[in-house]
Amino acid sequence: MTSDLDALLSESLRARADAGAPIAPDALLRGAVVRGRRVRTHRRIAAFACAVVVLAGVGTAAGLLAPHRDSSAPVVATPAPSPLPSRSPAVNDRAHRDLAVLPDAGLPGAVARPDLVGADPAVLHFSVDALARDAAVAGWRSAAGVESARVIRGDLDLSITLARDAAGLPPSIVGEDLLSEAADVRVGAGPGTVRVAAGLSHPPRDGEWSLYRFDWQPADGLWARAEVQMPSQELALAAVGHVRLDQSRRLMMPFRIGAVPAGATERERGVELRTDGPGLVVSATARLVAGRRELSVQSGTPQGQERPDGAWVTAGPHRVYAPDGGYYGVESRGQSLDVLAVPRTDPLPRADVLAFVAGMSFAERLDDPGTWL
């Protein structure tokens, strides 16, 4: 199923590229960046007294996580906030703006109800608002048993993941083999571990930056992992201290899913905001699962690619480009929606997908989160 989805995604990207449409370069360059980091970091490690650890599997990875929290100790909602350093004016020519756009969900945070983490893809049980209020990039994701966010500013690059199971925590973005051995550290008032990839920063920053990976258990049944790129471990811990685990946010989208196909449920959603150019660039995704069949919904700025006249159909109020092969394209209210049905060998029936698209509604403006649904 994964290969089917990858193929459909590749076709969609090629179509946008053939039309002269811009494709976000960060995702495409990530592999090259990581390979470059590996070469530079291996050189630095030669002059560093750090042992390189290669994880043998999930069992080994779980053993390297933060020590189990003492159930008799008080639950720490979030590390104590500390002031952050003055940020640089821009990141890769992106201006900073207030990206703390998700509304309060009015529900318990992760430390109070670890069992709710990843239970509803429309809710995040933590907040990164304090960092996202002045950022160049902010993104959030909720999936089964896992919630995550990332914020990029001139003074930091932070990603955090909460999971109901340690196995749900992601590997390092630079590869586990580039991290030092785990060392004990205090994350807020509780025990944790830190591993370091020395000398890493992308984009390049003034001075020496490193990647710090913190693991800790904020409450029984809840695991946390944060990766922070900053000049020092102290500053990285201060940044983590601004993540609130005692709050919740509604994961709004620029589109709303109506009736879902029979037997299908929404399993995952994510939103990313970038301050590229004069406006706000938005990408949003949702994933629905019905047994071994899936629908992947992706929203973004219309690309204006030309499409043959014969492949257009009507689905409710929407005009849909629906060639054979499991791809459906909709453009409405200034946003482009791609719906991919997988596996390609046995996708959801065309009538079911069109009924699903017919029931969807769109925000008034893609680049104005205040209008989202």
Distances (CA, A) of 253 to 36, 159, 178, 280, 373: 35, 20, 36, 14, 6
- Name the residue with higher pLDDT: 53 or 310: 310
For residue 8, pLDDT beyond 90: no
| Summary mean pLDDT of the chain | 79
- Name the residue with higher pLDDT: 73 or 97: 97
Q: Which of 137-146, 220-229, 277-286 has the lowest mean pLDDT?
A: 277-286
What is the predicted pLDDT for the residue at 177?
Answer: 92
For residue 113, pLDDT beyond 90: yes
Model confidence band, residue 254 (pLDDT cutoffs 50, 70, 90): very high
For residue 120, pLDDT beyond 50: yes
Q: Could you give the residue range(s) of every CATH 3.30.200.100 domain in the chain?
A: 2-22+252-371
3-state SS track over 49-98: CCCCCCCCCHHHHHHCCCCCCCCCCCCCCCCCCCCCCCCCCCECCECCEC
The DSSP code sequence of 153-220 is ETTEEEEEEEESSGGGSPPPTT-GGGS---EEEEETTEEEEEEEETT--SS--SS--EEEEEEEEEET
What is the predicted pLDDT for the residue at 343?
Answer: 87
Q: Which of 14-18, 24-28, 99-103, 328-332 has the lowest mean pLDDT?
A: 24-28
Model confidence band, residue 83 (pLDDT cutoffs 50, 70, 90): low
Model confidence band, residue 128 (pLDDT cutoffs 50, 70, 90): very high
Q: What is the mean pLDDT of the segment spanning 228-252?
A: 96
For residue 355, pLDDT beyond 60: yes
Indicate the pTM of the whole model.
0.77
What is the predicted pLDDT for the residue at 277?
Answer: 63
In the chain, the percentage of residues whose pLDDT exceeds 90 is 54
Model confidence band, residue 300 (pLDDT cutoffs 50, 70, 90): confident
- Architecture of domain 2-22+252-371 in this structure: 2-Layer Sandwich (3.30)
Place of tokens 């990976």: 213
Q: What is the mean pLDDT of the segment spanning 238-255?
A: 96
What is the predicted pLDDT for the residue at 56?
Answer: 31
For residue 325, pLDDT beyond 60: yes
Q: What is the mean pLDDT of the segment spanning 281-296?
A: 93
